[in-house]
Structures are given as structure tokens and as C-alpha cells.
Structure 1
Amino acid sequence: MAEFVLVAGAWLGGWAWDEVVPRLRAAGHGAHPVTLSGLAERRGVPAGQETHVQDIVDVVERGDLREVVVVGHSYSGIPAGQAAERIGGRLKRAVFVDSNVPADGEAFTSRWPEDRVAALTASGFWPPLTAEDYAGQGLTEEQIARIVGGSTPHPAASLTEPAVLARPLGELPATYLKCLLDGDEPSPDVAELLTGESWELVELDTGHWPMFSQPAELARILLEAA
């Protein structure tokens, strides 16, 4: 039995996995949706990048979980990748869902223009997307309304603080899920990781938020990865 630790991307909480979790549990596995500090029901809790990594590690350690599949979506691939490294022998596999991946010493905003980073830091939060931003991602109007209605501002410090890795990310056993409506090819850093023996690529013909647009297919891919 695998234990899935599920972390959604920016602005979202554990609620984003509501249509995926029952499918994983019905297959006989554990499923643990994570709400990162500062988001959703944990809004107002101070949070940097290290805080988000520890949020994920804490779920594993508190539950004494083994055979862990850490799933990071979008932004959360960065803390999820670091957490996957830190839990050591408890890890079965990491799954990156159309996500960023951590690089030692690099932050989510490392390639942003300086003025944009400065504005983000000054405001303290990254505001959620609007409904129009979700066009072309395979989502119904109802699904978009659900995402927009549940989103909360994302804490800036988690985006500007650098990742810390003790060893090359390519050494982790990992699956990268590329959602094709969000671009045909993985980013160059992910493409390089996929050249190694430990990483595999899976593609899904949907947009960047498959837990909403195709939850059954996403659950199937997660089960196959485990």
C-alpha cells in the first residue's frame, strides 16, 4: 500500500484534491491532502519556502508514513521535491504534476524580472488568478468558478526563498506528468532530468489543473506511478 501525500500549487489548499483522494483510497491506498502554511484554512500563518517543505515532511512524520508517494503540482513541485529528499527511506516515488522542480539555491522567482520580485515582496502576497486566466485549460465554467472561489493569496516569501537540496534531484525515483494544454514540452530543466534513469515522463491531454479537469485520469496515473 502506498501513502500519497498530495500538494496542490499556488493559491490552493488540500481541498483541491477532493475528487482525487476518494479514488486513491478506493484502490486501497492512503491519501493525505496537504494545505501549506498561509493558504486556504491556514491563511494568515507566516510561511517561507522552508516552512512549506516542513509542512510536507510533518505530514509524513506525524503519520509515520511509509511507501510515500509525494505529489507536487505546479509551484508545489519545489517544496515537494525537497521534502521527498528529506524523508529518505520513507519515499517510494515523487510525482511532479505539470510542476516546477527545485534547484539548489534557486527560488520560484529566480527568473522573474527584478521589479516584479520587488513588487511581490512589497505586497507580501501573490494574488490569485482571475477566471479569464483559466481559459483554454480544459476546465468547465463550474470548475473555474470552484478554483477561483477557493483560491487565497499565496505568501510571497515561499516564492522568493531558495530551495535547498543535499543531492542531485535526478537521483530521486520520479514521474513527471506533462499536461499538454499547458505546453507540449517540459521545461528545459525538467527535460534534462528526464534524460536520467530515475525519471519517467507521462503525458495527459488536459490543462494545468488536472485534479479538476480530469481527476479520474490523474488518479489512474498516480496509481500507476506507485
Structure 2
Amino acid sequence: MGTYVLIHGGFHDGSAWNTVVARLEKRGHTALAPTLTGRGKNVDPTVGLDQCSQSVVEHILTRDLTAVVLVGHSVGATVICKVAEAIPERIRRLVFYAGVVPRDGESIYDGYPPALRLIADQQFADSSDGTITVPFEIWRDSFMSDAAPDLASWAYQYLWPEPCRTFQDRVDLRKFHALQTPRTFLLGADDCTMPGGWHPQMTGRVGQFRLVQMPGGHELMFSNPHGLADNLIDAAED
């Protein structure tokens, strides 16, 4: 059976994966979902992506995990790229679930289409503490477009402010692109958070990959966690 390390996206913490973890464990796998350093209830706007990535490296090394299926959701996909650079010998496969990955030398923000950049520009300008939040209307209508309004409202209470640095830090991915680590891109077919679509706009940034698609949107850990877990197992197959 497999060992899964699940990395949350922006505005989340590790608890977003709780039901997915339980499903993976029920199917006989080991699953861990750490909260990135400086994120969640301990949000720290000075903590950048390099420190987030290092916290995952330490999580894997201190538990002596090997043959890891490393899953990154949304901007967590950028984190798993850097983790794979640091400890490629411990990673069996990378799975990018709705993964947001910048081009080499750019920030996540740099790679956004114009519509998303306009939203981000306003949020950065309005921020007084170096963090931003997801407006509920965007969460309901875009992030959880496949969910009933009451489920979107319930899930919204589990979000946290996210440091602006997550989106502004430039990322060197030269080592990542030289890796031979197998990778899969998992997409919700109804995910409308990326104007212009995910494939090939975002999928094309991770090198050679296998594409797995399932019904649903950007936050399947809330709207269909069992289905997400089952598709992660499929995505991890060699």
C-alpha cells in the first residue's frame, strides 16, 4: 500500500484533508496532511514558500518516509516541486491536484491570467498586515461552484488568511524540471477558478505528466472527499 503526504493549498491548513486522509487509511494506505509552517492558525506573513517547502522536507525526513506519493493542491503544487528537488530519492510520484505552478523564475502571481491578477492586485493593495483572504462570494461561486451554498458556507469557516508572499515569491524551478520523478495532474472537470482553463495552460508547466480527470471543482476535499481520495489512488499508479 502507498504512503501519501497531502499538501494543502492557499488559505487552508492540513485539516482540509481530514476526510480524504480517513478514506485513504480505510483503503489501507498511510496518509499524512501536515500544515505548512507559517500557515493556518499560526499564519506568519514573513514566511515564504522556501520555508513552507522545508517544513515538508523535515516532516518526511523525521518520519523516515520513503516511496512517498506527494500531493499538492492548488498553490501547494509549487511547494511539492521544491520538496521533490530537495529529497527526490524519497518521492515515488508527484500528484498535482488543480496544481498552480509558476514558470521558472516567476512567482505564482506572475503566471496568473489577467482576470486573476486584477483581483490579486486589489487584495494586495488593501492588505494591512501582509495577508489576504478569499471573499465569500468568490469562494462560493468559483472555488466551490460544484457545491450547495450551505456546504460552501460550512467549508468557508475553515479558511485562514494567506501571506501575500505565497503569491509574490519568485521560484527557481530549474532543478525540478531536470528531475525524472513521475508526475500526475489531477483535475476536477468543473473547476472554474482558472480563467482560460487548466489544461494546457497550467498542466503544461510541470513537464511530462499523466492526466487524470474527475467530476467536480477546485475544493473536492470538501465537496467530494471520498471521490477525491479514490482518484488520488488512481493518480498514484505507476
Provide TM-score, normalisation by structure 2.
0.83
C-alpha spacing 1:150/1:118, structure 2 compared with 1 (3 Å): closer
Q: Does 1:69 align with 2:69?
A: yes
Cα deviation, 1:72-123, whole Å, max 9, x if unaligned, reads: 1111111112212322111010111112124321111114469558627764
**Preserved contact between residue 139 and residue 156 of structure 2 (Cα < 8 Å):** no
Give 1:119's aligned amino acid: A
Contact 1:38 1:154 in 2 (8 A): no
What are the within-5 Å matches in structure 2 for residues 1-226 of structure 1? 1-44=1-44, 46-111=46-111, 112=117, 116=122, 119=125, 123-131=129-137, 133-135=139-141, 137-165=145-173, 166-168=175-177, 171-183=180-192, 185-191=198-204, 193=206, 196=208, 199-226=209-236
Count the aligned residue pairs: 223
Contact 1:8 1:76 in 2 (8 A): yes
Q: Is the 8 A contact 2:103 2:205 kept in 1?
A: no
Greater shift, 203-212 or 124-133, is seen at 124-133
SS of equivalent to 2:190? helix
CA distance in 1, matches of 2:177, 2:20: 30
Q: Report SS of the residue matched to 1:18.
A: helix
Check whether the contact 1:40–1:150 (CA below 8 A) recurs between aligned residues: no
SS in 2 for 1:41: helix
Q: % of aligned pairs identical?
A: 28
Residue 187 of structure 1, CA deviation? 4.2
What secondary structure is seen at the aligned counterpart in 2 of 1:181? Answer: coil
Structure 2's unaligned 5+ residue stretches are 112-116
How far apart are 1:129 and its partner, in Å?
3.1
1:158 is displaced (CA, Å) by: 2.3
- Does the C-alpha gap of structure 1 residues 70 and 215 become closer, same or farther in structure 2, counting only changes over 3 Å? same
Q: TM-score, normalising length from structure 1?
A: 0.87
Q: Residue deviations 1:30-76, cap 9 Å, x none? A: 11112122322333474111111112112111111011011111111
| SS of aligned partner of 1:22 | helix
Partner Cα separation in structure 2 for residue 146 and residue 44 of structure 1: 25
Which secondary structure state, in structure 2, belongs to the residue aligned with residue 150 of structure 1?
Answer: coil
Q: In the aligned structure 1, how far is the partner of 2:127 from the partner of 2:49?
A: 14
1:102-153 Cα distance to aligned partner (Å, 9 max, x none):
4321111114469558627764012123145322621123321232111111
Secondary structure of the corresponding residue to residue 6 of structure 1? strand
